[in-house]
């Protein structure tokens, strides 16, 4: 139900992070009439997409006292989705033929994504809202008024301060705190170990035998990157759906998961095969981590489930003053950030109402119970995709698949706040792309020309006089 115009409120809102989620959150909040302050610990916008050759001294990122590097981008990284479907709905991620320094490929490199985010920030004057080189170290409700939030921060020069806000939107990403595979015997295994968070280039693995654990996006990319210089690359993956020979790299081999490693350097896989390896690369994902957030235990992370959260965004007892943008993984990220941000902005203004705390909590409990009944582990709570094309979920029945369907999620939020949901062409491009995993899929494509045409017809609605190259 939409309240009358005179009940619309403007709030003073803090946004934590100026990556792809924080930038669009700030824009939507300001569009809705809110006053916005963005806290960003780096010198520039971009978040995850800010590349640095620097890595952490602890290559597994286990040491709690380590110097944390906040980027996980490797030098060879290219997008695993075509650029048309990656961008925000009204700011198309198109080629820039007037600028020779830009990457014109459909699956561009990380530098092009970074330039796109910089273009977005410039177009919507986002930087004027940002406090750069300012790290937030505590967010908590104020003692005086539980409807207000205290944000404590520290600048790069060491100056600390605090401000009070009506609401806080957390957009700090989830690609900094690595998850590691449990491997029996690893404590005495003599080889080198590294998490993909600290992988940048393949040079350190020249002429080595390397194990790559995991074969999602980063595992697929990094294994091929290392294969250009390594003697052998052995991929250990949970699903045999990925086990196919490479058409380019004869030194790339697939195995089931690791059973055990030994102090003589040997690695034994679940099928009994044994090899001697020089290095293990953990492409095993990340943990959600909010070290600055203090809610007296109400919001917690358990086996990578952030909860309790209503629709992955609002903690029922703390809504709408606290919200999270961008927790679900696998989904069309930029579009998801945008539509979640529209919902948060409209809820904070009062234009859209949330259910009562009790109703939201009932929904959360029912959601968790349904996941459990389907045998979906807690760590996949924030997993949105098209289940039909995802091996671990392809056996779900249609009424069960709704639970993790990104389309259903987008449609629900769009209906709540009165905005258009995902375009047909965008959804279809995503569904085609996530099925691809051959060596050349980024450069050889001919199965979605009609969808590209549909996309560019939509793009013309936003900047009709702009001439783009397709």
pLDDT tens across 442-452, in order? 988 777 889 99
Residue 247 pLDDT level (bands cut at 50, 70, 90): low
- The verdict on residue 242 lying in a domain is yes
SS3 at position 297: coil
How far apart, in whole angstroms, are the C-alpha atoms of residue 185 and residue 189?
7
- The verdict on residue 463 lying in a domain is no
- The verdict on residue 234 lying in a domain is yes
Q: Which two tokens stand for residue 415?
A: 């209906």
Where is the domain boundary, 282, 317, 351?
Answer: 282
Preceding amide of 308 cis, omega within 30: yes
Q: Based on the fold, state whether residues 264 and 367 are members of the same structural domain.
A: no
Q: Is the pLDDT of residue 437 over 80?
A: no
- The verdict on residue 1 lying in a domain is no
**Bridge partners (DSSP) listed for residue 149:** 141, 165
Q: Are 235 and 225 in contact (CB under 8 A)?
A: no
Total count of domains within the chain: 2
Q: Based on the fold, state whether residues 28 and 152 are members of the same structural domain.
A: yes
Q: Is the pLDDT of residue 121 over 60?
A: yes
Q: Are 185 and 50 in contact (CB under 8 A)?
A: no
Where is the domain boundary, 228, 255, 282?
Answer: 282
Residue 37 pLDDT level (bands cut at 50, 70, 90): very high
b/e map of 117-133 (b: 16 or more CB within 10 Å)?
Answer: bbebbeebebbebbbbe
- The verdict on residue 2 lying in a domain is no
pLDDT tens across 391-419, in order? 667 777 777 777 888 999 999 999 999 99
How far apart, in whole angstroms, are the C-alpha atoms of residue 138 and residue 154?
10
- The verdict on residue 372 lying in a domain is yes
SS3 at position 345: helix
Strand order across the 35-39 sheet = 130-131, 35-39, 12-16, 167-170, 322-324
Q: Based on the fold, state whether residues 172 and 123 are members of the same structural domain.
A: yes
- The verdict on residue 68 lying in a domain is no
Beta-carbon-side half-sphere exposure of residue 345 (alpha carbons within 13 Å): 24
Q: Which bin fits 61, alpha (ψ -120 to 50), beta or left (φ > 0)?
A: left
- The verdict on residue 118 lying in a domain is yes
Q: What angle do the packed helices 333-349 and 406-417 form, to 10 degrees? A: 30
Q: Based on the fold, state whether residues 439 and 323 are members of the same structural domain.
A: yes
Q: Is the pLDDT of residue 294 over 60?
A: yes
Residue 286: name the closest of 144, 175, 158 by CA. Answer: 175
Instruction: Tell if the pTM clears 0.85, that is, is over it.
Output: yes
Q: Based on the fold, state whether residues 30 and 172 are members of the same structural domain.
A: yes
Q: Based on the fold, state whether residues 276 and 314 are members of the same structural domain.
A: no
First to last CA, the chain: 42
SS3 at position 248: coil
H-type alpha helices, 189-277:
217-227
Q: Based on the fold, state whether residues 201 and 313 are members of the same structural domain.
A: no
H-type alpha helices, 281-388:
333-349, 357-373
Q: Are strands 274-276 and 266-269 parallel, antiparallel or unpaired?
A: antiparallel
How far apart, in whole angstroms, are the C-alpha atoms of residue 467 and residue 445?
23
pLDDT tens across 300-321, in order? 999 999 999 999 999 999 999 9
Q: Based on the fold, state whether residues 276 and 343 are members of the same structural domain.
A: no
Q: What is the pLDDT of residue 5?
A: 47
SS3 at position 169: strand
Could you list the residue range(s) of the whole structural domain that residue 153 is in?
12-45+76-177+287-449
Q: Is the pLDDT of residue 438 over 70?
A: yes
Q: Is the pLDDT of residue 1 over 50?
A: no
Q: Based on the fold, state whether residues 353 and 417 are members of the same structural domain.
A: yes
Q: Is the pLDDT of residue 327 over 60?
A: yes
Percent of the chain with pLDDT over 90: 77
Q: Is the pLDDT of residue 468 over 90?
A: no
Q: Are 425 and 458 in contact (CB under 8 A)?
A: yes
How far apart, in whole angstroms, are the C-alpha atoms of residue 176 and residue 197?
7
CATH classification at residue 205? 3.50.50.60
Q: Based on the fold, state whether residues 227 and 110 are members of the same structural domain.
A: no
Q: Which residues contact 450 (CB under 8 A, 6 or more apart)?
A: none
Mean pLDDT, the chain, rounded, equals 91
Total number of residues shown for the chain = 470
Q: Are 279 and 208 in contact (CB under 8 A)?
A: yes
Q: Based on the fold, state whether residues 440 and 325 are members of the same structural domain.
A: yes
Q: What angle do the packed helices 424-433 and 449-459 form, to 10 degrees? A: 140
b/e map of 303-317 (b: 16 or more CB within 10 Å)?
Answer: ebbbbbbbbbbbbbe
Q: Based on the fold, state whether residues 29 and 91 are members of the same structural domain.
A: yes
């Amino acid at each position: 139900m939409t309240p009358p115009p005179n009940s619309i409120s403007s709030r003073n809102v803090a946004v934590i992070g100026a990556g792809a989620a924080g930038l669009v959150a700030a824009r939507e909040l300001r569009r809705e009439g809110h006053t916005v302050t963005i806290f960003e610990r780096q010198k520039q916008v971009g978040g995850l997409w800010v590349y640095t050759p620097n890595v952490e001294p602890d290559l597994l990122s286990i040491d709690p006292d380590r110097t944390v590097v906040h980027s996980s981008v490797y030098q060879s990284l290219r997008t695993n989705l075509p650029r048309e479907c990656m961008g925000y709905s009204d700011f198309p991620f198109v080629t820039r033929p007037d600028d020779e320094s830009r990457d014109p490929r459909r699956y561009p490199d990380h530098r092009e994504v970074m330039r796109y985010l910089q273009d977005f920030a410039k177009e919507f004057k986002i930087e004027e809202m940002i406090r750069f080189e300012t790290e937030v170290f505590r967010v908590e409700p104020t003692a005086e008024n539980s409807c207000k939030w205290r944000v404590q921060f520290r600048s790069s020069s060491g100056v600390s301060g605090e401000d009070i806000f009506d609401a806080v939107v957390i957009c700090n990403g989830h690609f900094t705190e690595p998850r590691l595979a449990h491997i029996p015997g690893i404590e005495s295994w003599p080889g080198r170990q590294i998490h993909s968070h600290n992988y940048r280039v393949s040079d350190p693995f020249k002429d080595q035998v390397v194990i790559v654990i995991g074969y999602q996006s980063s595992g697929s990319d990094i294994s091929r990157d290392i294969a250009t210089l390594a003697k052998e690359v052995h991929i250990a993956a949970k699903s045999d759906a990925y086990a196919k020979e490479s058409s380019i790299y004869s030194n790339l081999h697939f195995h089931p998961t690791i059973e055990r490693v030994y102090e003589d350097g040997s690695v034994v896989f679940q099928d009994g095969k044994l090899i001697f390896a020089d290095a293990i690369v953990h492409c095993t994902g990340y943990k959600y981590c909010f070290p600055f957030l203090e809610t007296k235990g109400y919001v917690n992370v358990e086996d990578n489930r952030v909860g309790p959260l209503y629709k992955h965004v609002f903690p029922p007892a703390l809504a709408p003053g606290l919200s999270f943008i961008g927790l679900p993984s696998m989904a069309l990220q930029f579009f998801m950030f945008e539509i979640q941000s529209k919902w948060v902005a409209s809820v904070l203004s009062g234009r859209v109402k949330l259910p009562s705390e009790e109703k939201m909590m009932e929904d959360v409990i029912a959601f968790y119970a349904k996941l459990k009944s389907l045998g979906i582990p807690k760590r996949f709570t924030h997993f949105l995709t098209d289940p039909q094309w995802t091996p671990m979920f392809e056996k779900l029945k249609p009424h069960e698949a709704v639970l993790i369907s990104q389309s259903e999620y987008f449609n629900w939020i769009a209906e709540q706040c009165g905005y258009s949901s995902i375009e047909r062409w965008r959804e279809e491009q995503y569904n085609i792309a996530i099925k691809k995993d051959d060596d050349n899929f980024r450069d050889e494509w001919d199965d979605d020309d009609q969808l590209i045409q549909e996309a560019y017809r939509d793009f013309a609605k936003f900047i009709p006089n702009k001439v783009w190259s397709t």
